[in-house]
Structure 1
Amino acid sequence: MIKTNTKKICIVVSSLGVGGAERSSALLSEMLFDLDFDVHIVSVLDKIDYPYKGKLLNLGKLKAEDDSKMGRFKRLKIFKNYLKAHKFDYVIDNRTRIGLFKELIVSKWIYNAKNTIYCVRSYNTDMYIYPSKFFAKLLYGSAYKIVSVSKAIAEKLNNEFGFKNLEVIHNQVAIDAEELLVKKTIKDNYILFFGRLNDDIKNISLLLEAYSKSKLPHNSVKLKILGNGKDKMMLKQKSDTLGLSNHVEFLEFLVNPYPFVEAAFFTVLTSRFEGFPRALVESLSVGTPVISVDCKSGPNEIIVNEKNGLLVENHNIEALTNAMNRMLEDKNLYLQCKSNAQKSIEKFSKSTIGQQWKTILK
């Protein structure tokens, strides 16, 4: 397909698999491609689950063949030569950025600061911005833009580092109609968590404890936990310890979880921290209400309490339990949240978010 827009964009990702940040990167490639940009993607790891658009340079395949020091140097040189050969107008770096020496090489040797955009996708900003103010300014202060996915992240970066090149662009919500056509035979009445099973971040233990104390198990409302991760076995054991083995079902990660999301009574987010949680906007986009803890950051930029869901104090089992019970027992509240769900996230639509990206990719 010949592009009428001559601007060339390179999106650099850790991978295109499993997580919400990775899903957002894949969607960004599709959105910019559909806006007629010439899109290329460079993936550090050979993990490509989500659909994307554009040309892919999979450095992960080279990493699998040779991950020695010489192999790493060769990959960096291939990366540098790729950027040089294609003369990209902008490089959008979506990677988690860990390691000072490595990032000095990338930012000072491989990238050209004046056309580099660094994305920060978590309130745990140490994953993206080196915590030393001196080195953070050295690495990212002269970049064209630092794009954060929530207002809270931008405020934190401004307060801690005083960056002058900050922009806020939320994650877009874009579920293809075809993804919802893959209907599942789902007869259960259930609530749903979907995401990576990393309890240090997602705090699914809190969800299990609150669910066990709620009225849902006694009213035949199951809990489905959809996803994979390092803590899956631990969470299964915790579920058994709480006496929930007949009420909690663990499902494997799905690239397309949306039929399960659409059929859920409501979805739940209990994270210790986030960036801009896709699970909430994706749930609302298919008309399913949400309950979320008010963690940093994102939920309070998505949920209007008692309008499209319930927002509760974080790390508070009783508050989360009460919210679950309210959704079960207060039919008017539930129906109001359900009827407002889709309309409430129109500001995160592909067209709106796409226009914001077009503005900075002049």
Structure 2
Amino acid sequence: MSKKRILFVRPSLGYGGADRVTVNLLNHFDSDKYEVELALMHSNGEMQSMLDRPIKIHDLKVGWLGFAVNPLMKLIRSNNYDVLYSTCGGMSIPMMIAAKRTNFRGLKVVSERNSLHRTYSSIVKKKSLLSFKKRYYKQADLVTVVSREIGSEVQEVLGVNESQIRVVNNPLIGDSFFSEMQEEASFPSIETGTFNILAIGRFVKQKDYGTMLKAFNALYTNNKNVRLNILGKGPLQKDIEDLVDILGITNVVSFLGFDSNPFKYLRIADAFILSSLHEGMPGVLVQAMAAGLPVISTDCPTGPNEIIDNNKNGILIPVSDISAAHLALESLLHNPEKSMEMGKKAALSIERYSINNGVDSYFKILD
């Protein structure tokens, strides 16, 4: 039996959660059944070097989604692909336009990875994106979503038929995750008795670091042994660093930058916090839980409340609620036995995000 030829489509393999998921898909698919290639808007992302298979990469050399249509059309016309597979909501649009203009007859799979009710940079951008998605997602054969709630949004907001929607589980936890956790790591503050809190994420509005920092500041007021360590980078880093300075906590908040292996810090942290305004299915939260950490997350749309059973395997707090975040951190700090038990339960609750189960969920829908 001949292999199915799949073209995966993304903007890049940068430093985001969906980039890591795509790397895991490409590193672990069944090469006896599938032949896979990858098209990128620009081929210069931080995670591209993490590919450990000889995947053929097509660099479209474009800087805007709309400019990706023509090079994608050329690719589709010159290759006999069976499947076009986007792992990015935005990139799904030029892929579908290219498929339509080339009369592509194979399977078309688009992706929605974040809440459709999220905050957009402008009303014009929101209306434009949703308009394109309403038009083209209905023409796709399948729409993959990373949470049940996003699936509901795709039906209600975009008018996609339920029969087209497939919930997939991101492949996040495997042998490499646990081996990378064992690599040498240290936080700037390693004094005995220090309670190290970890946050991981891009410096963008979505992550709402302002709420996190103000909650941490309230915690630090009466608990001088706490430290906040942040892994990531992004366009708002200077604003976030300025807020840390304004709050007067520069000596207890550490910016660790981007690290291709953030997992080693999960091993040495005491707690993990996610303060997002919206998500899809936050991979860093799944990974923190897999590491056995007690976790705090906003009950944002979408994802966290599908993996956290509140006060059992983690703590859910309202979005942008400084007081709730402060009290949750205080609870973990002053109840070490409860925190340890919560972490144990967290580690046992995310089996569906193993590499094998996750990869299978993305590929079995093609058969």
Q: TM-score, normalised by structure 2?
A: 0.86
Q: Aligned residue for 1:214?
A: 219
Task: Say whether 1:197 aligns with 2:189.
Answer: no
Q: Aligned residue for 1:170?
A: 169
How far apart in 2 are the matches of 1:137 and 1:264? 43
Q: Which of 86, 91, 99 is the aligned partner of 1:93?
A: 86
Kept in 2: contact 1:149–1:170 (CA 8 A): yes
- 1:101-147 deviations in Å (ceiling 9; x for gaps): x5774342257365110011111368899323xx5443121211000
- 1:55-83 deviations in Å (ceiling 9; x for gaps): 232425x448xx9x9xx5xx755433333
How far apart in 1 are the matches of 2:58 and 2:73? 14
5+ residue gaps, structure 1: none
Q: Aligned residue for 1:138?
A: 135
Query: Which letter does structure 2 place at the counterpart of 1:166?
Result: I
Q: Aligned residue for 2:104?
A: 112
Deviates more, 1:219-228 or 1:348-357: 348-357
How far apart in 1 are the matches of 2:71 and 2:129? 25
Kept in 2: contact 1:11–1:29 (CA 8 A): no
How far apart in 2 are the matches of 1:76 and 1:163? 23
Aligned-residue offset at 1:235: 0.9
Aligned-residue offset at 1:206: 0.3
Kept in 2: contact 1:10–1:91 (CA 8 A): yes
How far apart in 2 are the matches of 1:117 and 1:111? 15
Kept in 1: contact 2:197–2:269 (CA 8 A): yes
Query: Which letter does structure 2 place at the counterpart of 1:84?
Result: R
Kept in 2: contact 1:214–1:325 (CA 8 A): yes
Task: Say whether 1:157 aligns with 2:150.
Answer: no
Aligned-residue offset at 1:338: 1.6
- 1:279-338 deviations in Å (ceiling 9; x for gaps): 101111222221001000011112111222111111111111100000011123101112
Query: Which letter does structure 2 place at the counterpart of 1:57?
Result: I
Give me the CA root mean square deviation: 2.7
SS at match of 2:223: helix
Counterparts of 1:256-267 in structure 2, within 5 Å, are 256-267=261-272
Kept in 2: contact 1:114–1:144 (CA 8 A): no
Deviates more, 1:80-89 or 1:225-234: 80-89
Q: Which of 23, 27, 40 is the aligned partner of 1:26?
A: 23
Deviates more, 1:284-293 or 1:267-276: 284-293
Task: Say whether 1:55 aligns with 2:55.
Answer: yes
Q: How many pairs are equivalent?
A: 347
How far apart in 2 are the matches of 1:113 and 1:211? 54
SS at match of 2:358: helix
Ranges of 4+ aligned residues in structure 1 off by more than 4 Å? 33-36, 75-78, 125-129
Q: Aligned residue for 1:8?
A: 5
How far apart in 1 are the matches of 2:99 and 2:213? 42
SS at match of 2:36: strand
Kept in 2: contact 1:262–1:283 (CA 8 A): no
Query: Which letter does structure 2 place at the counterpart of 1:143?
Result: A
Aligned-residue offset at 1:256: 0.8
How far apart in 2 are the matches of 1:111 and 1:212? 57
How far apart in 2 are the matches of 1:22 and 1:57? 14
Query: Which letter does structure 2 place at the counterpart of 1:86?
Result: N
Shift in CA distance, 230/130, structure 1 to aligned 2, threshold 3 Å: closer
SS at match of 1:319: helix
Query: Which letter does structure 2 place at the counterpart of 1:16?
Result: L
How far apart in 2 are the matches of 1:173 and 1:327? 25
How far apart in 1 are the matches of 2:34 and 2:141? 18
Aligned-residue offset at 1:162: 2.6
- 1:154-181 deviations in Å (ceiling 9; x for gaps): 1011112331211111222235144224
Kept in 2: contact 1:91–1:116 (CA 8 A): yes
Aligned-residue offset at 1:214: 1.3
How far apart in 2 are the matches of 1:223 and 1:111? 53
How far apart in 1 are the matches of 2:286 and 2:103? 33
Query: Which letter does structure 2 place at the counterpart of 1:85?
Result: S
How far apart in 2 are the matches of 1:34 and 1:174? 20
Task: Say whether 1:355 aligns with 2:352.
Answer: no
Query: Which letter does structure 1 place at the counterpart of 2:357?
Result: T
How far apart in 2 are the matches of 1:46 and 1:143? 26
